[in-house]
Chains A and B, each alone.
Chain A
Amino acid sequence: MCKLGIYLVCDYPNREKFLEAVRVCEDFKIDFLEIGFPFSDPVADGDAIEQAAFDVLQRENTNDFVDRLKEVRAIFSKKLYVMTYANVVFGYGSDRFAKDIECADGIIIADLPYVESKRFKKPFEKYGVNLIHFVTPESTKEDMDKIKNSSKDFVYFVSMRGTTGGRLVLDDELKSKLEYMKFGFNKDVILGFGIKDKIDIKNACEYSDGVVIGSEAVRNLNNNSFYNYIESLF
């Protein structure tokens, strides 16, 4: 039972196509969705997602993203997460942001490492939104132990040193860290960054509880090939 998650940039390439993609994900029974709320300076992202974010920010702001999230919630029946950057939350007001995305199951903040997570955890948990932590090839055992103990939902395992859009390489270091992370941990370990196709999914799922696909999904959505792409993953 390997889970498949899809990341979409909110309202990219436009509202209609975005919502249509959400419906496709619902129809294919995708296990979870991550909705990216764009940020002006997305340093964890590669070109594909950054360009999409810049495009959306020319026309929209957080009020639009929150409205759309509610529409997504009405369409999509499985788990729903918001993915963004620290200042989209902080600069808007953490409490207000948490309340506005109450309908989501969790929040993923790309530039919020575990060491800084405390101040954000509280407001989100107040509204039943779980804060997702990251593990990376750079994480030590002690880092992973802490994250195991404080995660209330899945852990986002970043497959590589780099930004979104790279290529998955399941080397020994990654495999052994995935193994350590999964050991004695009763939540899902989801592998992200660099997952593109069915073969990547199959390989990744030997070592994780699931995967999330971002850049490749965003690229296909922009190329009007989203339906065929999702179909090709099964």
Chain B
Amino acid sequence: MNGYFGSYGGQFVPETLIKTLRELEDAFFRFKKDKIAKKEFEDYLKNYAGRETPLYYAKNLSDYVGFKVYLKREDLLHTGAHKLNNTLGQILLAKFMGKNRIVAETGAGQHGVATATASALLGMECVVYMGKKDMERQEPNVKRMKLLGANVIKVEKGSMTLKSAINEALRDWVKNVKTTHYLLGSAVGPHPFPLIVKYFQSVIGKEARKQILNQEGRLPDSVVACVGGGSNAIGIFSGFVKDNVELIGVEAGGESLELGKHSATLTKGRPGILHGALSYLLQDDYGQVARVHSVSAGLDYPGVGPEHSYLKDSERAKYDVCFDGEAIEGFKVLSRLEGIIPALESSHAVGYVLKNRDRFKDKLVIVNLSGRGDKDLGIIDSLEGNNV
């Protein structure tokens, strides 16, 4: 079926958005074929965003765990996370469609910053919805967005996190659909968003594959990435999905695997419909979306992109959890051993590798380091017994 990955995906949105989703799909397919548009995108990635990002052999970390670990350094991308790949792409696409206003949601604030950045660069009006709780815990990114000229709107409803921010962005979009592009920040939402986000993030996987072949002369055994909505993971997975390479998505185990205390959608959820797509979902017996938790705002979300649901069911990728404490351990270990302060989201991938070091013995592993952790110093500071 059109717009589905196996049985997952679709367009579960109010009827009002259907025509625009059709136009978006059509424009996206034309954009992909348009040589000038493609060239412009690649040019911005290289000269503005700083691609390609390094694939760094983390020698100290490798010595510490006892196997070879490479880090795909998306933290070195302009604005400090992989999110900019997608926002540059989608803003060029929005211009291509003649839209002049951008709305976006943000959790950790990285997508909001990347949206505000690309909007400033390309002259778009930019509105970012952000939950109250996230504005408090990711305050440095709120300041950055404002400086970049974005109108940051605080969402004080529902969970006051990423989920509520997406709700408000969708409501804004329904009202302003004629002038506005909704710049979704993860591989979630109605078709064609999961395809668009994967397309723009696939540069991570393409580069990583080439780089590991250059540096090691062979493909890795495993590729590990954190999964919130799943954009950095699908981006790096896409480079290896056709190879005999293990793909591991790491979800937020939060405090424990009791419903309400984690955001491990693929690990503990079941199929449901939220934010336009049928995918795994954390929900109660009646289909009400569950409260979730993660120390990391970017992973604190009850849903997940539909392609990940498909990769899970088809067993092409596996999904597992890293708990809050283990992620903080990853955050600290990487900082001390390599001089790299990772985002708390990315720290889940690092923490997962640390806690499973026996399982990876003698393996060659790539960890997607999706972002840097400057934004998280306040959280780390405020956690008891974790004074930096």
Smallest CB–CB gap between B158 and chain A, Å? 7
B286-298 to A contact mask, C-beta < 8 Å, 1/0: 1111000000000
Name the contact of B287 in the complex, choosing from A50, A92, A134, A143 (C-beta under 8 A): A92
Smallest CB–CB gap between B347 and chain A, Å? 28
A41 and B163 in contact (CB under 8 A), knowing A87-B273, A92-B287, A138-B177? yes
Asked if B16 contacts A111 (CB within 8 A), the reply is no
Asked if A41 contacts B289 (CB within 8 A), the reply is yes
B62 at the interface (CB under 8 A from A): no
CA distance A110 to B14 in the complex (A): 6
A40 and B19 in contact (CB under 8 A), knowing A134-B14, A161-B177? no
B170 at the interface (CB under 8 A from A): yes
Asked if A162 contacts B175 (CB within 8 A), the reply is yes
For A44, list chain B residues within 8 Å (CB).
Answer: 14, 174
CA distance A162 to B272 in the complex (A): 24
Asked if B286 contacts A112 (CB within 8 A), the reply is no
B311 at the interface (CB under 8 A from A): no
Stretch in A6-14, A54-62, A122-130, A217-225 touching the partner: A54-62
For B276, list chain A residues within 8 Å (CB).
Answer: 111
CA distance A31 to B132 in the complex (A): 42
Asked if B289 contacts A90 (CB within 8 A), the reply is no
A139 at the interface (CB under 8 A from B): yes
Asked if B18 contacts A115 (CB within 8 A), the reply is yes
For A43, list chain B residues within 8 Å (CB).
Answer: 13-14, 167, 170-171, 174, 275
For A133, list chain B residues within 8 Å (CB).
Answer: 15
**What number of B residues sit within 8 Å (CB to CB) of A?**
37
Smallest CB–CB gap between A88 and chain B, Å? 5
For B228, list chain A residues within 8 Å (CB).
Answer: none
Asked if B157 contacts A116 (CB within 8 A), the reply is no
For A151, list chain B residues within 8 Å (CB).
Answer: none
B104-123 to A contact mask, C-beta < 8 Å, 1/0: 00000000000000000000
Asked if B171 contacts A62 (CB within 8 A), the reply is no
Asked if A114 contacts B287 (CB within 8 A), the reply is no
For A115, list chain B residues within 8 Å (CB).
Answer: 11, 18
CA distance A143 to B177 in the complex (A): 18
Name the contact of A87 in the complex, choosing from B11, B16, B274 (C-beta under 8 A): B274
B253 at the interface (CB under 8 A from A): no
CA distance A177 to B161 in the complex (A): 38
CA distance A91 to B289 in the complex (A): 9
Name the contact of B16 in the complex, choosing from A90, A116, A158 (C-beta under 8 A): A158
CA distance A231 to B288 in the complex (A): 35
Asked if B286 contacts A92 (CB within 8 A), the reply is yes
Q: What bracket does the count of chain A residues touching chain B fall in?
A: 35 or more
CA distance A41 to B11 in the complex (A): 16
B20 at the interface (CB under 8 A from A): yes
For A50, list chain B residues within 8 Å (CB).
Answer: 157
* Chain B residue, CB-CB nearest to A60: B286
* Chain A residue, CB-CB nearest to B163: A41
Smallest CB–CB gap between B119 and chain A, Å? 22
B41 at the interface (CB under 8 A from A): no
Smallest CB–CB gap between B59 and chain A, Å? 46
CA distance A135 to B158 in the complex (A): 29
CA distance A44 to B171 in the complex (A): 7
Asked if B19 contacts A111 (CB within 8 A), the reply is no
A91 and B281 in contact (CB under 8 A), knowing A110-B14, A115-B11, A138-B177? yes
B44 at the interface (CB under 8 A from A): no
22 A-B residue contacts at CB 8 Å? A41-B158, A41-B167, A41-B289, A43-B170, A43-B174, A43-B275, A62-B287, A87-B283, A91-B273, A91-B288, A110-B14, A111-B12, A111-B276, A114-B18, A115-B18, A116-B12, A134-B15, A134-B16, A136-B15, A136-B16, A137-B16, A158-B16
A: residues with CB less than 8 A from B are 39-41, 43-44, 46, 50, 54, 57, 61-63, 85-92, 110-116, 133-140, 143, 158, 161-163, 166
Q: Which 4 A-B pairs have the closest CB atoms?
A: A91-B287, A134-B15, A87-B273, A86-B273
